[in-house]
Structure 1
Amino acid sequence: MNGSILIADDEDSIRESLTIVLEDEGYNCTAVKDGNGAIEAIDKASYDIIITDLKMPNASGIDVLEYALKHSSDTLTIIITAHGTIETAIQALRKGAADYILKPLEFDEVLIRIQNLLEHKNLAQENKYLREQIDKEYNFNHIIGESSAMKEVYKMVERVSQAKSNVLVTGQSGTGKELVARAIHSNSDRSKKPFLAINCGAIPENLVESELFGHKKGSFTGANADKDGVFVAAHGGTVFLDEVAEIPLNLQVNLLRVIQEREVKPVGSNQMVSFDTRIIAATNKDLEKEVEEGNFRDDLYYRLNVVEISLPPLEQRREDIPLLAHHFLQKYNKELKRNLKGINSDAMGAMMSYQWKGQVRELENVIERAVLLSDGDFLTVEDLPAAVKKSSDSEDFQMDSDKLDEAIQVFEKHHIQSVLKRTDGNKSEAARLLGIDPSTLYRKMERLGVTD
């Protein structure tokens, strides 16, 4: 069936004719002769569309509409009305009706109206599903990592999500700055509004102003129509300015004014346009150093950096590598239609020893490649790139188990030993470097068998 339709009309000829025409088109129809019958039908079953006459005995079409909106909010209602009651039909639209049709009915027009409404309804449901998937993917509870460094990031994301303050996310390329920005947006009261990301380093310099602030038709060669900049386009939501340090110095003063005043003047326009958009910026550069060297305005830096979230490089959260690796394994098993059961201990040891200059992004790419090329049930050292394979010769990590929790314990033991060596056995200093309490360090040493 194309869809389910409830028809409510006290005129037998209209009710019966609509039923015949719609069922011939493949719709599943239920017909009732008054408003009370329609309300009873709504209680018993769900419908895609209700077609109801405006004036009926017992309960009117407006009564049916209001009941449907309250008890079956996904159902769309079409009002049938005569010319003399168009004003009432318009009131019905204001109350929430999807459409109205004038008598006498033109069945071809009715079919077109129904088809258009169902297409819009299906699109809305798809968008709702995609929004739910995006919210699930970018919810900060699903960011991978259990290290103390990442737990600090989670706390910061939770604290700033409900605020309106500008946020600056810093960290090396590949550490997941956009993921954190999306998590902030997803957990805020702006989550149902747009999230627009713009890579400031990827826009030609002569188009940066247009992309950020918008332009009017004819304002420059190629401006064939009016265009909103990202701040206006994301009104009510969030703008993510990635690689913000790449914005040309001569435009930084304009960006500062826009952030301060919350209004923009599109290129070629004399009118200011207000917006309500949260701003999250990100950079892999040391902005304080950029300010000192004259490459970035200090007033813009302080305006953007109300709250800073610094993402740790992978070398500072190596205990997260097994978690990340298994997460990406599952992800690419699904995407590439493979069925690898896990990662063997030698391969995990190599990944734990390798220096991930490309950060989490490089690790993900390595796992994707390995899943694609692997011929066995488990990912092995032979499935890894040559550079990562070399790390398997390191004696730093000798994995005797393929189990995830045991692999993490091997790293944890090695890392504590390494830090204690650096501090000449000073446990208080080692605890400070590890970001844990000395009592926690003592418990971990005892549990893992770490000696002085």
Structure 2
Amino acid sequence: MTRNRKALIIDDEPDIRELLEITLGRMKLETRSACNLKEARECLARERYDLCLTDMRLPDGSGLELVQHIQQRYPELPVAMITAYGSLDTAIGALKAGAFDFLTKPVDLNRLRELVNSALRLPAPSRPGDEEPVGSRLLGEAPPMKVLRKQIGKLARSQAPVYISGESGTGKELVARLIHEQGPRAERAFVPVNCGAIPSELMESEFFGHKKGSFTGAIEDKPGLFQSANGGTLFLDEVADLPLAMQVKLLRVIQEKAVRAVGGHQEVVVDVRVLSATHKDLAAEVAAGRFRQDLYYRLNVIELNVPPLRDRREDIPLLAEAMLARLTSTAGLARLHPDALAKLQHYRFPGNVRELENMLERAYTLCEDDEIKASDLRLADTPAIAGGEEADLAQVSNLEDHLEDIERKLIMQALEETRWNRTAAAQRLGLSFRSMRYRLKKLGLD
């Protein structure tokens, strides 16, 4: 027999409790109510609930105390905070404490229904040792990777904006996809966008859509990325590359949860979870005035760091084996000579997992008898400074010229690997397209 789903409502205002009870009752949920923290704790001890809604201000304490209590004792229970209108800092505090989501007063009933439906779609929390499907796609047994998988599982059960930090090539988009796929939005769209690859003059149209005739070339209505991600997740990769003017518009959309298409006259409500990432130090970008502080705080509610490959060298054999298995699935099995593996484990990998994969793909193409030897890796071709401490000061007469020479060689290598596809080469190097274009011109490669 199926158990009726139950919701616990905590608010000291009888009118709000009644409104929430009626709305949730019409959604076929049983409800229990409490008017303070003491009653709420007693209710939680007596019965099992599928959802909890709590006001921020209660007669005997703060709703944050209840969020923390639930996180410690009932971590599988999604709890949403109800805050006063305009109390964005309070809402962010609740999300950081572990709240699933938040609502503002006066409560928008459509928003409430969306929140309830999302919470009820949450999958059962994973048990210790149960890492599938994350473990099969985010490989690694090093301690930082075990911590990362656990954090992904926890963040998937929240609607909080997550800022994914980490160097280029570490797998930030995969982390974002896993957060999406394990959460209540898994059946809806995951829309990734490289913010550095969109021309500035087209950004507003790409993000928010446009109406037919709104500008030259707008021959029909077009939905933007926010509309395409409605109900799902929008992943803003290389978010640090957004121009300041676009940052202002993005902040407003995130706060208002509504977009207006270019040439449109009405705003359209959107329900989108925003995940963002960049290989740059976003706090440093804020300090330098290149990124808005208010948008930084709105995106960086929770930060998730993806470790570089050099901090988990023990995972290199496992990663290499999996990559070679994918590469050779239709062409036989390739082996990695022990000397080649040793060389990989002593390399710094500035391009991280992506560089390892590209290196193995190139080496497999060059190797003989399906065995990759150390010489096939062509690591000697990489400038010594890329490996860290091995640069020889005696060889440097002018630092700027030396660095430009290294930069030119690495850009040429990336262009050759991508068959002179500049966009792909920029991604390979962790650069925005605009930055790549500037460097090509500066180095005389344009």
TM-score, normalised with respect to structure 2: 0.55
Kindly provide the CA deviation profile for residues 161-213 of structure 1, in whole angstroms up to 9, marking residues without a partner as x. 02111111011111111010111111112111111111000000001111111
**Structure 1 residue corresponding to 2:161, chosen from 162, 166, 169:** 166
Is 1:229 the counterpart of 2:207? The answer is no
Is 1:150 the counterpart of 2:145? The answer is yes
Please report how far the alpha carbon of residue 388 of structure 1 lies from its aligned counterpart in structure 2 after TM superposition.
7.1
Is 1:175 the counterpart of 2:167? The answer is no
* Equivalent AA in structure 2 for residue 151 of structure 1: K
Partner SS for 1:281: strand
Kindly provide the CA deviation profile for residues 299-356 of structure 1, in whole angstroms up to 9, marking residues without a partner as x. 100000111111111111111111111111101001xx32234212100001011121
CA contact (8 A) 2:334 2:364 kept: no
| CA–CA distance in structure 2, aligned partners of residues 280 and 267 of structure 1 | 24
Task: State the aligned residue count.
Answer: 255
Determine the structure 2 residue equivalent to 1:185.
Answer: 180
Report the RMSD for the aligned CA atoms in angstroms.
2.1
Q: Which runs of 5+ in 2 are unaligned?
A: 1-130, 388-446
Is 1:288 the counterpart of 2:283? The answer is yes
**Structure 2 residue corresponding to 1:366, chosen from 359, 369, 375:** 359
Is 1:338 the counterpart of 2:328? The answer is no
Please report how far the alpha carbon of residue 140 of structure 1 lies from its aligned counterpart in structure 2 after TM superposition.
5.1
Is 1:274 the counterpart of 2:269? The answer is yes
**Structure 1 residue corresponding to 2:317, chosen from 322, 331, 341:** 322
**1:188-203 matched pairs, under 5 angstroms:** 188-203=183-198
* Equivalent AA in structure 2 for residue 155 of structure 1: K
**Structure 2 residue corresponding to 1:245, chosen from 230, 240, 246:** 240
Partner SS for 2:180: helix
**1:56-135 matched pairs, under 5 angstroms:** none
Kindly provide the CA deviation profile for residues 139-158 of structure 1, in whole angstroms up to 9, marking residues without a partner as x. 45421111111111111101
CA contact (8 A) 1:252 1:297 kept: yes
| CA–CA distance in structure 1, aligned partners of residues 317 and 279 of structure 2 | 25
C-alpha distance 241-266 of structure 1, shift in aligned 2 (>3 A)? same
Please report how far the alpha carbon of residue 159 of structure 1 lies from its aligned counterpart in structure 2 after TM superposition.
0.5
Please report how far the alpha carbon of residue 377 of structure 1 lies from its aligned counterpart in structure 2 after TM superposition.
3.6
| CA–CA distance in structure 1, aligned partners of residues 224 and 340 of structure 2 | 47
Please report how far the alpha carbon of residue 378 of structure 1 lies from its aligned counterpart in structure 2 after TM superposition.
2.4
Determine the structure 2 residue equivalent to 1:352.
Answer: 345
C-alpha distance 389-380 of structure 1, shift in aligned 2 (>3 A)? farther
* Equivalent AA in structure 2 for residue 226 of structure 1: D
Partner SS for 1:319: helix
Is 1:379 the counterpart of 2:369? The answer is no
C-alpha distance 172-240 of structure 1, shift in aligned 2 (>3 A)? same
* Equivalent AA in structure 1 for residue 292 of structure 2: R
Please report how far the alpha carbon of residue 383 of structure 1 lies from its aligned counterpart in structure 2 after TM superposition.
2.0
Determine the structure 2 residue equivalent to 1:308.
Answer: 303
Please report how far the alpha carbon of residue 382 of structure 1 lies from its aligned counterpart in structure 2 after TM superposition.
2.8
- Structure 1 window deviating more from structure 2 (140-149 vs 318-327): it is 140-149
| CA–CA distance in structure 1, aligned partners of residues 224 and 132 of structure 2 | 27
CA contact (8 A) 1:263 1:273 kept: yes
Partner SS for 1:228: coil
| CA–CA distance in structure 2, aligned partners of residues 140 and 270 of structure 1 | 47
| CA–CA distance in structure 2, aligned partners of residues 197 and 357 of structure 1 | 24
| CA–CA distance in structure 1, aligned partners of residues 310 and 188 of structure 2 | 36
CA contact (8 A) 1:338 1:371 kept: no
Determine the structure 2 residue equivalent to 1:439.
Answer: none
Is 1:264 the counterpart of 2:259? The answer is yes
| CA–CA distance in structure 2, aligned partners of residues 180 and 190 of structure 1 | 15
| CA–CA distance in structure 1, aligned partners of residues 342 and 316 of structure 2 | 10
Please report how far the alpha carbon of residue 252 of structure 1 lies from its aligned counterpart in structure 2 after TM superposition.
1.0
* Equivalent AA in structure 1 for residue 285 of structure 2: E
Of all paired residues, the percent bearing the same amino acid is 49
Kindly provide the CA deviation profile for residues 248-303 of structure 1, in whole angstroms up to 9, marking residues without a partner as x. 10121111110011100111111001111111000111111111111111110000
Partner SS for 1:316: helix
Partner SS for 1:280: strand
Please report how far the alpha carbon of residue 380 of structure 1 lies from its aligned counterpart in structure 2 after TM superposition.
1.4
CA contact (8 A) 2:191 2:234 kept: yes
Partner SS for 2:206: helix
| CA–CA distance in structure 2, aligned partners of residues 184 and 168 of structure 1 | 12
Partner SS for 2:192: strand
Kindly provide the CA deviation profile for residues 221-270 of structure 1, in whole angstroms up to 9, marking residues without a partner as x. 11111111111111111110000011110121111110011100111111
Bigger radius of gyration:
1
CA contact (8 A) 1:145 1:323 kept: yes
C-alpha distance 146-137 of structure 1, shift in aligned 2 (>3 A)? closer
C-alpha distance 390-232 of structure 1, shift in aligned 2 (>3 A)? closer
| CA–CA distance in structure 1, aligned partners of residues 382 and 336 of structure 2 | 14
C-alpha distance 142-326 of structure 1, shift in aligned 2 (>3 A)? same
Q: Which runs of 5+ in 1 are unaligned?
A: 1-135, 395-452
CA contact (8 A) 2:339 2:374 kept: yes
| CA–CA distance in structure 1, aligned partners of residues 382 and 343 of structure 2 | 6
C-alpha distance 351-231 of structure 1, shift in aligned 2 (>3 A)? same
C-alpha distance 208-256 of structure 1, shift in aligned 2 (>3 A)? same
CA contact (8 A) 2:366 2:376 kept: yes
| CA–CA distance in structure 2, aligned partners of residues 298 and 256 of structure 1 | 10
* Equivalent AA in structure 2 for residue 200 of structure 1: C
| CA–CA distance in structure 2, aligned partners of residues 346 and 218 of structure 1 | 63
| CA–CA distance in structure 1, aligned partners of residues 350 and 369 of structure 2 | 28
- Structure 1 window deviating more from structure 2 (260-269 vs 338-347): it is 338-347
